[in-house]
Each structure stands twice: as structure tokens, then as C-alpha cells.
Amino acid sequence: MRIKNWQFWLGLLISVVFIWLSLRGLKLDEFWATVQKANYIWLIPGIGVYFIGVWVRAWRWHYLLKPIKEIPTKTMFPITTIGYMGNNIYPARAGEVLRAVILKRKEGVPVSASLATIIVERIFDGVVMLAFVFVNLSELAKLTGASGFVGNIQQVAIIGTGVFLGALFVFLLAAMFPQVTAKIGIWFIERFTPKRLREKLVGIMNKFLDGLASLRSPLNVLMVFFTSVIIWLLETGKYWFVMHAFNFSVSFFALMLMNGIVNLATTIPSAPGYIGTFDAPGIAVLAAYGVEQATAAGYTLTLHVALWLPITLLGAYYMTREGIKWSENIRAEMEVQN
């Protein structure tokens, strides 16, 4: 799949800046000693808890797609892992489009409808991440005096809350009033797009609105939110297990705060695998809690690898097992959606 040059170079530049932020002042000999002394047996339960969370993600996606097509979670799980593999090796979260394209090829679900459910997932993830930050705002306030990078997170959280809640509100309105939304969409399409594209764009819009059908029930909205909370608590559980491999201890709430800040930071464009944008804020949060820089860096980088490598390998395995290849056809389908 081709990625626009400016997207690649912008992401690479941002990653370089964040890597510099995360490594400046770091004593490499102390960092290396910390990594060598770590008890990596703790990564096993951490990875296990993380994959339970991935299964719950697959169930959530299955739940969001129910109004369009009933697809078992066991079918969704491999596609979900393939999507996360794509996010880890391509810029611009291309894995989201990849799993929508694969779902279309396997189950016949329109890509635009799948993308609608994926965007809903991301909105709920953002809301939960901000909730993790706000639950710990009183704790964060104690840290901001000497936290440097982390000290600006309160303002960022307030802005982010407005963005994610605003997006959620718009999507809920679109889901509850699909006919009104379609009329507004058609009005814009007829006035601002070439005539030759209008019929196609209207079809994409209608399928996209079909993908929001699960949000028409308040019970469904609560279910998706509750599931999202479970997913991110399980991921924080991985943070907690990996912490035990290193010689420091902070509270589970501190790791929730770290999880929230780190994942909000990874929404910033970067090189594939969230290089730098994951590491710099993670190290900064732990340093604000008094963890030595070498230990904070060793833990954060180990956690990053433990989050990146297993899901990437499993996604590659499922892609091979499913017989899906990086053919010209699948690349072309992804290019069309981009």
C-alpha cells in the first residue's frame, strides 16, 4: 500500500522529536542495567490479559455490526488482530481500513459501514481514555509542578474532551435521525461535489449511516461504553503486570493515568508503531511519580515492545492462515478508501 510521502515524513519527524524528548538526559549504562535485571516472566500474564482485551474488542465490533450482519466473535477476532498489525506497521492507522476491506471480502459488509463502526469504536476509546485522565485529575494536579511534559495534559484533556464528546454527540444524532442526516448529506453532495460522483457518494453515505444503526438504542450505547471501559482496564492490567518486572511500584490508578495520557498522545501522527509518541509521555508520567529515568525508560520501552510485537505476529499469522495476501486488488481497495 502506498503512503503519501508527506504523511510518512511528517510522522517520522514527529517521532524523532518525541524520541529526543524521551531519551534526553538518559544515562544509557543505567538504562541497560535496568533492562538486564528485569524479570521478564511477568510479561506472560501481561500479554495474556492484553489478548483477553483484544477478544473483547472483537466482541464489541461484532456487537456494533449486529444491525448490518450477525458475525461471530471468533470470526471477528482474526480480522481485528490483522487490523492492529496494520496499524503497527503502516502510518496513518491504515490497519483500520485494512480490517474493513478484509471484512468486506470475507463477509460482504460494505467498507463504508464497517468504517462507521470503527470510527465509533475510536470515539468511545477516546472518551474512556479521557475518563481515565479525569478520574486522576486530583493526582495529576499534585504532579504538575515538576512534571514538565505531563504538566500540559490538563489543558489537552479539556480540549480533547470537547472534541470526543462533540464527535460522539454528532454520531448519536446521525444514528437517531438517519433520514434527516441523509437529507443534509445529500444537500451538501449536490452543491459541493462533481455531478459524476454524486450517486456514488450518496451510496457511501447511506451505507455509512447503516453502520451507525447500533447507536440508535440507549442500551446499546451503554453496552459499547461499558465494553470500552473493560477493554482499557484490561490493557492497564498489562501495564500493572509488566511493572512487576521492574524495580518500582506505583498505584493502579497511576497506571490508568499513564495509559490514558499515552494513548491520547498516540493519536498524534507518527512513524509506524507509535514510535516516540508512546514512549516520551509514558516516561514523563513515571518520572513525575518519582520513578528514576532509567527505570521509567526501561519499563516504558519494554511495555511498548510487549504491546507491539505479540499482536503484530498474531495478526501476520492470521493473515497468512486466512490466505490473504498483499495483492494488487487489496491494495487498490485500500487506496480507494483512503
- Quote the CA–CA distance of 183 and 39 in Å, as a whole number: 59
Q: Find the range with the poorest average confidence among 140-144, 258-262, 299-303.
A: 140-144
> Which tens digit of pLDDT belongs to each residue from 52-66?
999 999 999 999 999
pLDDT recorded at residue 268 = 81
Q: What is the pLDDT of residue 81?
A: 97
* Residue-wise pLDDT tens digits, 125-150: 999 998 888 887 777 766 655 455 55
Give the rounded percent of residues in the chain with a pLDDT score beyond 70: 88
pLDDT digits (tens, 9 = 90+) for 106-132: 999 999 999 999 999 999 999 999 888
Of the candidates 221, 246, 224, 223, which has an alpha carbon nearest to the alpha carbon of residue 303? 246
What span, in angstroms and rounded, lies between the C-alpha atoms of 215 and 67?
Answer: 10
Asked if residue 50 has pLDDT above 70, the reply is yes
Residue 321 has what pLDDT?
87
Alpha helices per DSSP H over the chain: 5-23, 28-37, 43-65, 73-89, 94-107, 111-135, 137-143, 153-176, 178-192, 195-210, 218-243, 252-265, 279-288, 293-321, 328-337
**How does the average pLDDT of the chain come out, rounded?**
87
Within 10 angstroms of residue 229's Cβ, the number of other Cβ atoms is 15
Question: CA 171 from chain center: how many Å?
Answer: 19
Q: Is the pLDDT score of 14 beyond 90?
A: no
Stronger pLDDT, 261 or 48, i.e. the higher one? 48
What is the pLDDT confidence band of residue 327, given thresholds at 50, 70 and 90?
low
At a CB cut-off of 8 Å and minimum separation 6, what does 109 contact? 65, 68, 69, 71, 103
Mean pLDDT value of segment 300-304? 96
pLDDT at residue 193 tops 70 = yes
Long-range contacts of 59-62 (CB under 8 A, 24+ apart): 59/227, 60/121, 60/224, 60/227, 60/228, 60/231, 61/117, 61/118, 61/121
For residues 312-321, average pLDDT: 93
pLDDT at 155: 67
Note the pLDDT of residue 177.
93
Query: 65-108 pLDDT, tens per residue?
Result: 999 999 999 999 999 999 999 999 887 788 899 999 999 989 99
Nearest to 67 by CA among 212, 284, 259, 201: 212
Whole-angstrom CA distances from 40 to 54, 303, 310, 314 are: 22, 11, 14, 20
Confidence of residue 161 (pLDDT cuts 50, 70, 90): confident
Using alpha carbons, list the distances in angstroms from residue 215 to 140, 167, 182, 209: 33, 13, 16, 10
Integer Cα distance of 242 and 303 in angstroms:
7
pLDDT for 331 equals 58
pLDDT band of 273, cuts 50, 70, 90 = confident
Segment 30-49 shows an average pLDDT of 96
